[in-house]
């Protein structure tokens, strides 16, 4: 009986040792787990979100032809501001969009509908697209814009910006800030002063872009100089356009 008791005691001691070892191992895992979780949850550097901005439709009620250059000019202004000021957006270059529009013979219309924009957006590798229209009626200006998810066709943002023609640069920067905000971004500098020459400067800038697209750098440079003379607030827009070709 004594021998059996001794064996039983040894067996119990061994079992207890195994149990204690198991508990100790679990405790070590539990102590180390938060570090593993922290490593797994550490934010990784996200790739920039590709965004394509298409030409805007000209819905000017009067002097329609006069404001036609703004179809491409407004889009180019937004591209420049978003590309320079945002940190997590990859803005697709205007020239790439223009080339695809030419391929499907839409470069002269200055506007694409949502279905076409989505198709081109996929070809460009964009995850989101922005497009819209503008209305100029006398001194009043309204810019309507939509931001759409390319994969789902879901509207992310629908925005209308209203003001006067002397606030055109302010309206554009306000829209750029709204677009950035849809991606949880805040532009560093979105301030612009109102000026009686702002609309004329925007038109001169837009005509400069058209000349640049035709390959006439001399005419483009003439318009760009005029743009800055009319409103120095367009300096960055002009500098960006000069580097685009």
Long-range contacts of 230-234 (CB under 8 A, 24+ apart): 230/195, 230/197, 230/198, 230/200, 230/201, 230/204, 231/169, 231/195, 231/197, 231/198, 231/201, 233/169, 233/192, 233/193, 233/195, 233/198, 233/201, 234/169, 234/201, 234/202, 234/205
Q: Please report the pLDDT score of residue 47 as a whole number.
A: 55
Would you state the torsion angle of the CA atoms of residues 197, 199, 201, 205, taken in this order, to the nearest 10 degrees?
180
Q: What are the structural domain ranges in the chain?
A: 49-189
Q: Please report the pLDDT score of residue 35 as a whole number.
A: 39
Q: Please report the pLDDT score of residue 55 as a whole number.
A: 94
Which is the CATH superfamily of the domain at 49-189?
ABC-type transport auxiliary lipoprotein component (3.40.50.10610)
Q: Please report the pLDDT score of residue 194 as a whole number.
A: 77
Q: Please report the pLDDT score of residue 101 as a whole number.
A: 83
Q: Tell me the C-alpha distance between 62 and 233, whole Å.
A: 26
**Angle between helix 235-243 and helix 217-230 axes, rounded to 10 deg:** 170
Q: Please report the pLDDT score of residue 41 as a whole number.
A: 39
Q: Please report the pLDDT score of residue 200 as a whole number.
A: 97
Beta strands in the chain (DSSP E): 49-53, 57-58, 89-91, 128-137, 140-149, 155-164
pTM: 0.77
What string of pLDDT tens digits covers the 245 residues of the chain?
A: 444 444 445 455 445 444 445 444 444 434 343 433 333 333 334 556 899 999 999 999 889 999 999 999 999 999 999 988 776 789 999 989 988 888 776 544 456 788 888 999 999 999 999 999 999 999 999 999 999 999 999 999 999 999 999 999 999 999 999 999 998 877 766 567 778 899 999 999 999 999 999 999 999 999 999 999 999 999 999 999 998 76
Q: Please report the pLDDT score of residue 19 as a whole number.
A: 46
């Amino acid at each position: 009986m004594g021998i059996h008791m001794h064996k039983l005691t040894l067996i119990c001691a061994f079992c207890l040792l195994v149990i204690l070892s198991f508990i100790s191992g679990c405790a070590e895992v539990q102590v180390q787990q938060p570090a593993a979780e922290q490593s797994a949850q550490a934010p990784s550097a996200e790739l920039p979100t590709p965004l394509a901005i298409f030409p805007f439709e000209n819905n000017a009620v009067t002097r329609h032809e006069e404001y036609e250059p703004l179809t491409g000019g407004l889009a180019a202004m937004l591209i420049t501001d978003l590309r320079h000021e945002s940190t997590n957006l990859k803005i697709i270059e205007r020239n790439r969009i223009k080339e695809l529009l030419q391929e499907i013979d839409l470069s002269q219309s200055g506007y694409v509908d949502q279905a076409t924009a989505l198709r081109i957006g996929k070809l460009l590798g964009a995850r989101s697209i922005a497009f819209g229209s503008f209305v100029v009626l006398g001194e009043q200006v309204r810019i309507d814009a939509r931001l759409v998810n390319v994969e789902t066709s879901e509207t992310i943002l629908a925005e209308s910006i209203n003001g006067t023609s002397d606030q055109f640069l302010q309206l554009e920067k306000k829209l750029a800030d709204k677009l950035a905000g849809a991606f949880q971004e805040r532009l560093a500098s979105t301030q612009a002063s109102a000026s009686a020459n702002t609309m004329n400067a925007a038109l001169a800038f837009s005509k400069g872009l058209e000349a640049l697209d035709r390959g006439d750098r001399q005419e483009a440079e003439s318009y760009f100089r005029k743009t800055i003379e009319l409103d120095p607030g367009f300096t960055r827009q002009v500098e960006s356009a000069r580097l685009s070709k």
